[in-house]
Structure 1
Amino acid sequence: MTIEEVKNKISKDATIFKVGGFRPENTIQESWIGKVSAYNADETIPTDKNGELMLPLAQIYIPNLPFIHPKLSHTKLLTVFISSEYPECFEEMGENWIIREYENLEDIIIKDLSNPKSLIKQFPLKTEKKKDCPIWDGGGLSLEMEDEILELENSGEIESYYDIADFHQYEHKIGGFPSFCQSGIDFGDEFEFVFQITSDEKINLNVIDSGSLMFAKNDKTNQWSIYYDFY
């Protein structure tokens, strides 16, 4: 397999989110970080297991994304909340983090709600479609592809995997591959990585120590899973 064929095999599409830099229109069709304004009539900012308001983390309008993950094909709007005390990795959703998905927007109400204790800055998001590749020891490569890459290394065509895989996207994104800092991570059977929110100085978010919050969804149960790590 040639270098170009390997690149094509290991790449996936992703929607990359860029923070700010433009004036928002404040419509439901915009995506935001640090802000959630869309709720059903009976919904508000959820509370964590200690009764404290969670942090509004993101609001993502799905239909106009340049790449839509198949797991979100029926979702119109997705909102994310997390406790100021991070949940345990792979902790079940509910007490310390919540994702809300809306398949239609007929009953959505725009509410001016915020958590006064949140230090995450609110910014609208621009989107861009890019190719993404996995980190070598971070999952996403099949054994077959690992063998192909090692063969290219042994033949001297490349010095290392990163001569080929120089396009991993570390930003906030939907799709592509998770930006694992540690190796050997597995979300579990039937779970597939869907999106991540990463440490970002501009929005005043630091996931422990420059890590990322990564979210995967289960094919059969539609359950979400959370994982985060750091260097």
Structure 2
Amino acid sequence: MNPAARAELDRLRQAQRSASLATAGGFRPPQDPLTSWFARGVGLPHETLPAFEGTAMFPLLQIRVSELPFVPPQLRDVALLVLFQNLSRHPFDRPHGDGWLIREYASVDGLVLLPEVARPFRPFPIRWSRVDDDAPGWEGAWEVVDLTAVNEDEAASDAFFDDFSRHMGTKAGGYPYEIQHGVGHHDFVFQVGSEEKVGWMWGDNGIGYFHRSPGGQWRWECQFY
């Protein structure tokens, strides 16, 4: 491996990020609704389920931030958030609030379990685990280092793909896991994978990515195979 390529890989290794990885179920569900869940959510007593085209949406993911072993900086003032999705179709290219919605709460005081809505998904509590070695994919890595020398060295190119961890599935923090192309890691907060236990799928085994700007505006995109 040539020295220039090795140096860039070392720089990339130093740029690895921490993340909290979600595992669905595998333990007795807690009685407390104010924990992290797939397909179950809470809200304030006056709040109802958000609607899309006249039909109630459902809570796809609830994150209790204090349970995260690593907390993304955008969530440090958030106690709990709930991601809602509609039941008819993936809201591609739609802005926040149109077919998908994230509610944030600075405190869990007064939050109550939202009513159930008929859905083909199974609720599971979430257990989080921390990793400190999440690396970007090929396109995203160009935003961090110059891969020109790596691209020109076969051993370095193999090391890029073989020696770094890129965590897919549902996670908070880290880098977005690329499927088709770069996602952009600036303002990235969390991703939701296709969760087999839950029965949730983005297209063909895809991932939904959620970004939050410094001003608090959410945006999302999706990639699948």
TM-score by structure 1 length? 0.85
Shift of 1:205: 1.0
Change in CA separation of 1:54 and 1:21 when aligned onto 2, cut-off 3 Å: same
CA–CA distance in 2 between the matches of 1:181 and 1:142? Answer: 17
Identify unmatched segments of 5+ residues in structure 2: 1-5
Change in CA separation of 1:4 and 1:229 when aligned onto 2, cut-off 3 Å: closer
Is the partner of 1:225 in helix, strand or coil?
strand
**Aligned residue pairs, count:** 218
Structural mapping, 1:62-211, within 5 Å? 62-84=65-87, 85-89=89-93, 91-108=94-111, 110-116=112-118, 118-130=119-131, 131-137=133-139, 139-142=140-143, 144-147=145-148, 149-150=150-151, 153=153, 156-157=155-156, 159-165=158-164, 167-186=165-184, 192-211=187-206
Indicate yes or no: 2:35 matched with 1:30: yes
Is the Cα contact below 8 Å between 2:67 and 2:128 reproduced in 1?
no
Shift of 1:46: 0.8
Indicate yes or no: 2:38 matched with 1:44: no
Amino acid at match of 2:219: S
Is the Cα contact below 8 Å between 2:61 and 2:82 reproduced in 1?
yes
Shift of 1:201: 1.6
In the alignment, what sits opposite 1:11? 16
Is the Cα contact below 8 Å between 2:25 and 2:125 reproduced in 1?
yes
In the alignment, what sits opposite 2:61? 58
Amino acid at match of 2:205: S
CA–CA distance in 2 between the matches of 1:206 and 1:64? Answer: 25
Shift of 1:140: 4.5
Is the Cα contact below 8 Å between 1:71 and 1:217 reproduced in 2?
yes
CA RMSD of aligned residues (A): 2.2
TM-score by structure 2 length? 0.88
Amino acid at match of 1:59: Q
Is the Cα contact below 8 Å between 1:215 and 1:225 reproduced in 2?
yes
CA–CA distance in 2 between the matches of 1:11 and 1:112? Answer: 37
Is the partner of 2:60 in helix, strand or coil?
strand
Residues 43-92 of structure 1 deviation map (CA, whole Å, 9 limit, x = unaligned): 121111x1101121011100121000000010000101011221123x21
CA–CA distance in 2 between the matches of 1:74 and 1:64? Answer: 14
CA–CA distance in 2 between the matches of 1:99 and 1:143? Answer: 29
CA–CA distance in 1 between the matches of 2:144 and 2:11? Answer: 13
Amino acid at match of 2:197: K
Amino acid at match of 1:181: I
CA–CA distance in 2 between the matches of 1:144 and 1:112? Answer: 45
Identify unmatched segments of 5+ residues in structure 1: none
Shift of 1:144: 3.0
Shift of 1:149: 3.4
